[in-house]
Structure 1
């Protein structure tokens, strides 16, 4: 029987993706593990491997197609011994596998995962049915199993992650309006429901907050700007995701900010000595070249270990206290930014952090990062010092409870022992989620960071 190949979900929140390139053509033999296509998400371009063997009978979605919904049929695979022409002629008519039985999946997606992990499990029936129940959009009710959430007698389709989040938050999943493929309830819908939005029945009004101005309509744009004085650049997936997450952050997270100045003189001297002593390869190139940002990442990681109550994430069910310091580092890329994560940074050497950041930055700009390399983390660092920015405030990236905004290092007059001296100073601002980190705790964390930056030898022990 022909196998329908579906658009894979490469992350828990992915709803659509761009089919960037087919690496196999119709008539090609396909083996399990072969890389057959490249899918672009809002953050990265990922290679997709075949899970089944056979012959690629028909490509339904051509390469270059944008916004292909998850679980849409993109191609048909003829099984071994099957008539390829017949399979191609009946493209899209074969029964599609369920989400977890997708013909294509990434290596990360094939690894065993619990319901709350990045891959997220989906539900599959143990036995195939010869007459599958109509989908909700076809008008017929789906069969409902015992204990299944329903709304007006119809089954509520929701991802396992959304169900878990709704359960933890005490929200009836049947009341949540789904915005995923075919009305499926996804994690984003539950997060919106937590603030009282997207519910099918009247809910308690959310706490009053600052009004967010809606985007301008075409009519408003034409009234404000003469025709021909501008061009419209459509939003890509990355820009839409950034806008969505930062709007969510500013609307739902009560931010407060703490700024402190750090003396960089000792750090710059230590950096120069370490780089000068770096071993060289056969070509005479040093094995590593540390940046100030490498020291900042390491100092933040150790500071979180010294102030463990600040190494947390807020959830409705309780506070997550993290054992390791997983530091996200904002990297600018065409059209937006991404935050790859240095895992367990408190245990890593400065040279290891430096090497990882160089690799992450190069692959981020080429959109080659894997989801597990930029999802999660316990805090983040955003450094605009290289642009000459003295100080700024950064927006917290959920589920983090803090983010450190780093300004430029510059020579300033300071008072030391009653005398004015010149020192290289750097201003840093810690943004805190007041639900998880109170003022005194945030001050303790940024104070620990300052101590480490001004005494870099303490990072070596």
Structure 2
């Protein structure tokens, strides 16, 4: 009998929540089978088993959160007793470990093992809990639908998306109390308390730490983007007949331009380290994170080697990452090893803003929307389209002059966009 532990699936993860069990007690499990969906501080991830056997017992129900290393289930491997702890199972899981459930000996105080041929009943609380996919639960929250009023048509009565979509348009049952705890305050505000999930909790914790512990400064620049917009239209027209999924956005061009500017100024593509008297960790690879507003909160998937990737490749990668973010399917690898972040609110009509650094990175660029402005060119007043962008930098490793040089290089690339795709 062996224990399946809550694994560490990202460098910032300290605990995980069970989103859904894919196997029930008594089910046969083969090595590589998906056992459980775990909600981490960044995404919902499928976890596989390292070993084959029979799922004997579920120790942590759906919706419960436990610390890394806590036993979440027991697997009967047919040995009849707990095996010696292997080096793999004894070691603390790392962010680079495969997305698989880790196995270790049961603790001394563990309950008695369940017989291999027994098929125990699932915990009563778990049996009474609604069975629905993570996507359905998210859509229900967004639509204000009470899942308890829906009969699931999936296996075992599982509520699937088709069940939600079959509801008449405009019908939205009140949200269950477990989702919205509505209370009326003394001043009559009628407040609704929405508990943080793992992702929102991590966003709040990390950005609070960043804003309170990192000495930052900001620098703003602007660029004429008429030629950049014309180039984007030309690229999209050229690839329209071959692959519409590779359609390039203004943000894709900015990702590439930022990648080139970081290559030219590696001191901005860096992180602070407190080792010794303090160190600047200069990163050889240029991995640009793109801030995405997902249903669960802010996530930052990473476009790797943005200084070397073609714009069309960046466009395809970004679209795939944004799609995964909307469905909470991003992997730990897709969310890790970023060296710089871009946050773009231009599509919401925001002209200018500042962003908080995404630790442990040294800087972040906040991009506003394109605006028509009157400018003087060779004595004549003309209308040009301009974009403002603001760099927030860690002043421990990036000085004002370096930030200005980076922004000047970026502006030059944007105003001479052929250099972005050359």
Q: CA deviation at 1:244?
A: 0.9
Q: Superposed, which structure 2 residues align to 1:412-427 within 5 Å?
A: 412-427=373-388
RMSD: 3.0
**Residue pair 1:381, 1:403 contacting (<8 A) in 2 also:** yes
Question: Who is 2:34 aligned against?
Answer: 35
> Secondary structure of the residue that 1:277 maps to in structure 2?
helix
Over 3 Å counting, the alpha-carbon distance change for 1:309 and 1:372 in structure 2 is same
Over 3 Å counting, the alpha-carbon distance change for 1:59 and 1:355 in structure 2 is same
The question of 1:397 aligning with 2:384 is answered no
Cα distance between partner residues in 1 of 2:203 and 2:95? 26
**Residue pair 1:4, 1:103 contacting (<8 A) in 2 also:** no
**Residue pair 2:11, 2:94 contacting (<8 A) in 1 also:** no
Question: Who is 2:210 aligned against?
Answer: 249
Cα distance between partner residues in 2 of 1:439 and 1:349? 30
Deviations 1:399-458 (A, max 9, x none): 111111000001100111222110000011111111111001000001100000111101
The question of 1:439 aligning with 2:400 is answered yes
Residue 310 of structure 1, aligned match among 263, 268, 276 = 268
Over 3 Å counting, the alpha-carbon distance change for 1:103 and 1:300 in structure 2 is closer
Q: Superposed, which structure 2 residues align to 1:54-453 within 5 Å?
A: 54-62=53-61, 64-80=62-78, 82=80, 100-101=88-89, 108-110=96-98, 225-226=186-187, 229-281=190-242, 286=244, 288-317=246-275, 318-453=279-414
Cα distance between partner residues in 2 of 1:375 and 1:413? 42
Question: Who is 2:141 aligned against?
Answer: none
Cα distance between partner residues in 2 of 1:245 and 1:4? 31
Cα distance between partner residues in 2 of 1:437 and 1:361? 30
**Residue pair 2:227, 2:415 contacting (<8 A) in 1 also:** yes
Q: CA deviation at 1:60?
A: 2.3
Cα distance between partner residues in 1 of 2:200 and 2:381? 47
**Residue pair 1:51, 1:105 contacting (<8 A) in 2 also:** no
Q: CA deviation at 1:260?
A: 0.9
> Secondary structure of the residue that 2:97 maps to in structure 1?
helix
Over 3 Å counting, the alpha-carbon distance change for 1:23 and 1:106 in structure 2 is farther
Q: CA deviation at 1:6?
A: 1.8
Question: Who is 2:179 aligned against?
Answer: none
Q: CA deviation at 1:334?
A: 1.5
**Residue pair 1:48, 1:104 contacting (<8 A) in 2 also:** no
> Secondary structure of the residue that 1:345 maps to in structure 2?
coil
**Residue pair 1:304, 1:311 contacting (<8 A) in 2 also:** yes
Structure 1 residue ranges without an equivalent (≥5): 88-93, 112-118, 135-221
Cα distance between partner residues in 1 of 2:268 and 2:202? 27
Q: CA deviation at 1:360?
A: 0.2
**Residue pair 1:262, 1:450 contacting (<8 A) in 2 also:** yes
Q: CA deviation at 1:339?
A: 0.6
**Residue pair 2:220, 2:388 contacting (<8 A) in 1 also:** yes
> Secondary structure of the residue that 2:285 maps to in structure 1?
coil
Over 3 Å counting, the alpha-carbon distance change for 1:75 and 1:433 in structure 2 is same
**Residue pair 1:392, 1:429 contacting (<8 A) in 2 also:** yes
Normalised TM-score (structure 2): 0.75
Segments of 4+ in structure 1 off by > 4 A?
94-100, 102-108, 222-225
| Aligned residue pair count | 345
**Residue pair 1:56, 1:76 contacting (<8 A) in 2 also:** yes
Q: CA deviation at 1:48?
A: 0.7
Question: Who is 1:15 aligned against?
Answer: 14
Cα distance between partner residues in 2 of 1:224 and 1:110? 47
Question: Who is 2:160 aligned against?
Answer: none
The farther-off stretch of 429-438 and 50-59 is 50-59
Cα distance between partner residues in 2 of 1:223 and 1:54? 51
The farther-off stretch of 305-314 and 377-386 is 305-314
Structure 2 residue ranges without an equivalent (≥5): 110-182
Over 3 Å counting, the alpha-carbon distance change for 1:428 and 1:228 in structure 2 is closer
Cα distance between partner residues in 2 of 1:131 and 1:410? 62
Q: CA deviation at 1:223?
A: 12
Q: Relative contact order, CA 8 A, sep 6+: which one is greater?
A: 2
Cα distance between partner residues in 2 of 1:299 and 1:363? 24
> Secondary structure of the residue that 2:368 maps to in structure 1?
strand
